[in-house]
């Protein structure tokens, strides 16, 4: 078992909080099963991958899940831009979410560097 507690990782907490923020965004009804659903799945994928990775038996597996979380961060970046460009979210919301996502991504990358010399 990997000896890491996901809930002690700063980027896990930030990614979880970002997921909560994203769930509070109201999209147009016609996007319920489209962009809204995709953004929510993507946002929750980040903390879920971190948590699942800590439950794996090897560091190699754990790192793989961290890379998946990083990929979801990049995907979420594009999805938020789409939502903004389609006028589904306001500039203030987009800017705030991007700031939070940037922090999550940076902390995740820094952590990955410490376990991937």
Residue 117 has what pLDDT? Answer: 61
- pTM of the entire structure? 0.93
- Find, among 36, 22, 5, the residue nearest to 101 by Cα: 22
| Number of domains, the chain | 1
Ordered per-residue pLDDT tens for the chain, 117 residues? 778 899 999 999 999 999 999 999 999 999 989 999 999 999 999 999 999 999 998 999 999 999 999 999 999 999 999 999 999 999 999 999 999 999 999 999 999 999 876
Q: Exposed, middle or buried: residue 110 (CB in 10 Å: 0-12, 13-18, 19+)?
A: exposed
Which residues, in sequence order, are CB contacts of 87 under 8 Å at separation 6+? none
Domain assignment of residue 64, given as a range: 6-115
Kindly state whether residue 1 falls inside one of the protein's structural domains.
no
CATH, residue 98 = 1.20.1440.60
Kindly state whether residue 20 falls inside one of the protein's structural domains.
yes
């Amino acid at each position: 078992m990997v000896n890491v507690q996901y809930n002690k990782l700063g980027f896990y907490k930030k990614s979880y909080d970002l997921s909560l923020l994203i769930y509070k965004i109201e999209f147009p009804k016609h996007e319920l099963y489209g962009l809204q659903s995709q953004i929510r799945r993507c946002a929750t994928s980040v903390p879920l991958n971190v948590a699942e990775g800590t439950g794996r038996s090897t560091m190699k597996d754990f790192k793989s899940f961290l890379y998946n979380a990083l990929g979801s961060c990049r995907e979420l970046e594009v999805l938020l831009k789409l939502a903004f460009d389609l006028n589904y979210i306001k500039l203030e919301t987009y800017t705030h979410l991007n700031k939070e996502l940037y922090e999550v991504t940076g902390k995740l990358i820094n952590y990955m560097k410490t376990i991937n010399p």
